Amino acid sequence: MVNSDEDRPLTENIKFASMPLSKKNENLQQTPWQNRSSTYYALGFSLFLVFIVVFALPRFVPKIEKNEQVKENQILEKRSIKESPFIDAQLTKARRKSQDSLADFLAVQDFLEKRGVTKWGRDAFERALTIGANGDKLFRQRKFSEALVLYEEAKLKLNKLKNLIPNKLAMNLQIAKDALIRGDSKIAKEYYNLALSIDPSSIEALKGLARTDVLDEVLILLKKGEQLLESGDYKQARNLFVKANKLDPLNKIAMDMYSQATLLIQDIDFKQLMSNGYQALEAKNYSVALEKFQIAMKIKPQNQAAFLGSTQAQQLLAQKFITDELKKAELNEDMENWDDALEGYEKILNKSGILIEAQVGKKRTSSRLEISNDINNIILSPLRLSTPQVYDQAKKLLINAQKISNPGAKHLKQLSQLKQALEDSQVDLQVLFRSDRSTNVTLLKKGNLGYFIEKNLILKPGNYIATGTRDGYRDIRIEFRVSKESAPFNIEVTCKEQI
């Protein structure tokens, strides 16, 4: 197959003229093209064209556009000049309204951007901005009324977004809260951050976000605690719930699990206390039993068994107290310790005021205590018997004390001492008084003794007072005691100090 001219390579179609070459042409044909001067000229011209296209040409284009804009403005100005004042005023009014509407639009836009609108209402926000941009185009064309319509429409859409803020905030908080309850810290954190972009001051969002930081750790503690509950280690489980609650005090699950563990622990403690209480009752250790039942009632105040156990323990303890105190009081009576016996009967009556034994015992010991105290008062101060009234009372006391049946050793001793004191009070004792014959001496209870050098008197045991007076001298007063143990007695009554 013979190839046509079209199918041949381009170089084969070119036929060079068979003309003789000049010397110059011969030199060119012999010189490589890289070293020819024409190559350099072509390369330089190409670089110049590139420079013109890249750097110079863009500078001329804006100028052309600017010149066109200036021409357009000049045409508009000429057109405005040709318009009537009324139309010009209407344009000015429309322009002002559109500018005010635009200002409101921008204010709402700024408010929404600060509330993170692009995170929760991007599409509606961008549509409103597009409408506003279209309004700008009309405004530049001096179509102010049409621009105003678009500005108002855009502003209306932005205000709708603004009105959605409370609902959006509540919705995001609820989603975050639900995620927090489910244990999804990632979703919870995402929506709490979204809520904070809407309202950076939201306390709920701030607290919730802080809870998400510890949520995973809390969940681990709760899971371990739940496993311990199932195995019966309630106290260790409660310790883990306490740790979880410290990390997140608002975690309801942690609080509920803590309460559950506490109830289980209290139930075990309650049963143990009740058991210990009944064991103490059987051992007649009523005070311990009462203590156990009362602690059990603190754990379960409405528990009937604990109440009955406490009541029984109180009754038995009261009976034991009365029995023990009666024994003590009777023993003190046998020992003639009337003070202690009376105190014991009074304790019993404070517990049970209707107990006959205690009432009779109190009356009996009160009478014996009074007699014992009266006798002791005489024995301890026998010189009081020098007073006739006291002496008579002591004699009556002795007669009454001798009538007591089954007297004890202490009582018999008191009777003996009282008799001796009465006898000693009637013994006559000689007392020698001395003076200087110039002092007038008087003995109280006896009378005036007058002036003397010496004078003997017979006195009963007791306390006496002697006084002396003398003109020009200071009076004298002497107190002395007369008793069998202090004889003989020499009393000098002389006024010696001159005035």
Residue 333 lies in domain: 297-371
Please say which residue of 39, 73, 107 terminates a domain: 73
- Together in a domain, 209 and 243: no
Q: What pLDDT does 339 receive?
A: 93
Residue 389 in any domain: the answer is: no
Q: Identify whether residues 204 and 223 lie together within a single domain.
A: no
Residue 475 lies in a domain: yes
pLDDT of residue 351: 81
User: Would you say 362 and 330 are in contact if contact means Cβ atoms under 8 Å apart?
Assistant: no
Give 427's strand partners. none
Q: At which residue do the structure tokens 């926000």 appear?
A: 125
Q: Which residue, 291, 287, 236, 295, is CA-closest to 271?
A: 295
DSSP one-letter code for 20: P
Indicate if 451 and 358 belong to the same structural domain: no
User: What was the pLDDT predicted at 3?
Assistant: 36
- Comparing 211 with 31, which gets the higher pLDDT? 211
Do 173 and 96 share a domain, yes or no?
A: yes
Q: Confidence band (pLDDT; 50, 70, 90) for 72?
A: very low
Phi, psi at residue 250, to the nearest 5°?
-95, 0
CB 407 within 8 A of CB 464: no
DSSP for 168-214 reads HHHHHHHHHHHHHHHT-HHHHHHHHHHHHHH-TT-HHHHHHHHHHHH
Number of structural domains, the chain?
5
Of residues 323, 368, 356, 326, the one with CA closest to residue 344 = 326
Lowest mean pLDDT among 15-29, 39-53, 66-80, 337-351: 15-29
- The whole-number pLDDT of residue 61 equals 45
The token pair at 196 is: 């904070």
Token pair of 450 as six digits: 């007058």
Q: Is 257 exposed, middle or buried (0-12, 13-18, 19+ CB in 10 A)?
A: buried
Phi and psi based region of residue 32 (left: phi greater than 0; alpha: psi -120 to 50; beta: remaining): beta
Does residue 56 belong to any structural domain of this protein? Answer: yes
> What kind and span of H or E run contains 449?
strand 447-450
Which pLDDT does position 17 carry in this prediction? Answer: 33
Same domain, residue pair 191 and 94: yes
Mark whether 253 and 332 lie in a shared domain: no
d(CA 271, CA 278): 11
pLDDT beyond 80 at 242: yes
pLDDT of 485 over the 80 cut: no
Regarding whether 263 and 204 lie in a shared domain, the answer is no
- State how beta strands 447-450 and 440-443 pair: antiparallel
Is residue 180 included in any domain, yes or no?
yes
Give the tokens for residue 371. 């007699």
Q: Does pTM surpass 0.85?
A: no
- Say which residues have a Cβ less than 8 Å from residue 66's Cβ, sequence separation at least 6: none
Both 208 and 105 in a single domain?
yes
Residue at a domain's end among 213, 243, 264: 213
**Minimal CA–CA distance to 379: which of 357, 369, 394?**
394
Nearest alpha-carbon partner for 265 in 302, 221, 233, 297: 233
Is 419 domain-assigned? no
Q: Are 196 and 95 within one domain?
A: yes
- Is the predicted pLDDT of residue 405 greater than 90, yes or no? no
Confidence check: pLDDT of 80 > 90: no
pLDDT > 90 in the chain, percent:
52
Q: Of the given ranges (142-146, 164-168, 323-327), which has the lowest mean pLDDT? A: 142-146
Regarding whether 243 and 142 lie in a shared domain, the answer is no
CB 190: neighbour CB atoms within 10 A?
A: 16
**Cβ neighbours of residue 438 closer than 8 Å, sequence gap 6 or more:** 451, 470, 495
Who's near 361: CB < 8 A, 6+ residues apart? 326, 329, 330, 333, 341, 345
pLDDT, tens only, 449-481: 999 999 999 988 888 999 999 999 999 999 998
Cα–chain-centroid distance for residue 290?
A: 33
Look at residue 148 in the predicted model and tell me its pLDDT. 86
The per-residue pLDDT for range 3-60, each reduced to its tens digit, is 333 333 323 333 333 333 333 444 444 444 445 555 555 556 666 565 555 555 455 4
- Which of 336, 355, 371 corresponds to the end of one domain? 371
- Residues 240, 156 share a domain: no
The average confidence (pLDDT) of the chain is 83
Give the amino acid at 373.
Answer: N
Q: Would you give the distance in Å from CA 41 to the centre of its chain?
A: 95
Question: Looking at the chain, how many residues does it have?
Answer: 499
Is 225 a domain residue? yes
State whether 105 and 163 are in the same domain: yes
| Residue 301 covered by a domain | yes
Alpha-carbon distance of 339 to 261, in angstroms, equals 56
Backbone angles phi, psi at 475, to 5 degrees: -60, 155
Please report whether residue 39 resides in a domain: no
